[in-house]
Structure 1
């Protein structure tokens, strides 16, 4: 499945809400309203005047709309990267540059290398992981960072975290409420699961960029976010 092309199609589907166009369930539209606040709390550059902020796979729903509003308030320079179809659903402004490419695009990387004060990649990495060279993807992202810049690689669906959650009493209760039945979810540990993003991959990414001289941090999502029980974020900072 080509996710970039898939979301091109959803962006043009008038029967979908903006929440659904970006791959979330309709009943998560309220929880989605909290996403930007979580991003905001992790990226201080969003409150600094003239910061260069890049959002890769920005979508068209509430989080990017709030990012745009924030850029007006703090006079950020905002670069939004997605398909032309998705970007057409967002407003135009002097401080906003829309780039209709699939990242990593060679010309884009060359243009913004060493310039970004903050990079947002929210709920995108797992799509790249399933169909592209995810190492080149993240390597290209970190080359965009200016000194003191931060990459937020966010909303990573961690299969091992999900198992830990569903093994807990809280997770079992959540599953019963969500599924509508009394069955206890089956959890299989130490089992090969092709294509899953798990603890080993998350920790590998953190170690990879630490060894390259960056600081990396594994940070939780706020409980009010749509997938907070099973997802987490990585912060990568350049000195």
Structure 2
């Protein structure tokens, strides 16, 4: 069955349109087919929380960039309420309208990092920044280094940035070149077809190993720790996506 939207042609403006489309599920509004996210969000959230030690404690400031409107930002809001954290959501007005309200929740409309009020009030004061399944759109249509630099500038000492669910085309190719990847592809398609994998070709707009490793190098060269972390294999795309964690010492 054909999908209702083209998941390969998404950007900030398209997500604004999706937020207003009442024919779409919450998963589809944030750029995923239902089959990829249905019943998986608790697993995704648990994996993320396990990696972010700065979420522990009480009274911290948490920023989520591009939260969308799925259950993930709602779960984050619940955790922040429980731990007496302030949570900042930065997204389009259309997406923010679909998120819960609360005294500990602050919604900041805009296309990050073009949100001056955020930087005027919170530079050097944020404990955790989360951008989950967002960085690929920044890479394709924005300025990745400016996005990273400005995010690192918001952190207080000991603060962390979590760029989660990063699609890596090279990682995907490695997986689908393996016996496990071939079996996965054949089970998904119900055929004996081999997946098409081509190395050493130009793929504009796609993140690959060079981009991921350059992100680590940039953070480290500016005095931050940075790591690539594997996703739990029970996550929807844990075999072909990974996470980046940056920490200010």
TM-score by shorter chain over 0.5: yes
Is contact 2:10–2:31 with CA below 8 Å preserved after alignment? no
- 1:89 equivalent in structure 2: 98
Q: Could you tell me which residue of structure 1 aligns to residue 74 of structure 2?
A: 65
Deviation track 1:151-203 (CA, whole Å, cap 9, x = no partner) reads 00111100110011001111001111222322101222222222221001100
Which residue of the partner structure matches residue 74 of structure 1? 83
Deviates more, 1:181-190 or 1:123-132: 181-190
Equivalent position SS for 2:233: coil
The alpha carbon displacement at 1:35 in A equals: 1.3
Indicate the larger mover: 2-11 or 55-64. Answer: 2-11
CA distance in 2, matches of 1:126, 1:111: 27
Match of 1:232 in 2: 242
Instruction: Work out which of the residue numbers 14, 23, 27 in structure 2 matches 1:15.
Output: 23
- Report what 2:111 is aligned to: 102
Structure 1 segment 1-239 matched on structure 2, within 5 A: 3-28=11-36, 29-107=38-116, 108-239=118-249
Question: Displacement of 1:106 after TM fit?
Answer: 4.7
Q: Mark the runs of 5 or more structure 2 residues left unpaired by the alignment.
A: 1-8
Distance in structure 1 (CA, Å) of the matches to 2:191 and 2:90: 41
Say whether the 8 Å CA contact 2:54–2:158 is kept in structure 1.
Answer: no
Task: Find the aligned partners of 2:120 and 2:211 in 1 and give their Cα distance.
Answer: 27
Q: Secondary structure of 1:178's match?
A: helix
Moved more, 185-194 or 67-76: 185-194
1:30: how far off? 1.7
SS of corresponding position for 1:141: helix
- 5+ residue gaps, structure 1, are none
User: How many angstroms apart in 1 are the aligned matches of 2:209 and 2:50?
Assistant: 24
Deviation per CA, 1:68-102: give whole Å up to 9, x if none: 11011111110011111111111111111000110
**Total equivalences in the alignment:** 239
Could you tell me the TM-score, scaled by structure 2's length?
Answer: 0.92
**Distance in structure 1 (CA, Å) of the matches to 2:193 and 2:173:** 15
From the superposition, tell whether residues 215 and 222 of structure 1 become closer, same or farther in structure 2 (CA, over 3 Å): same
Distance 1:169 1:198, change over 3 A: same
Q: Distance in 2 between matches of 1:194 and 1:105?
A: 25
Separation in structure 2 between the aligned mates of residue 164 and residue 98 of structure 1, nearest angstrom: 40
RMSD: 1.3
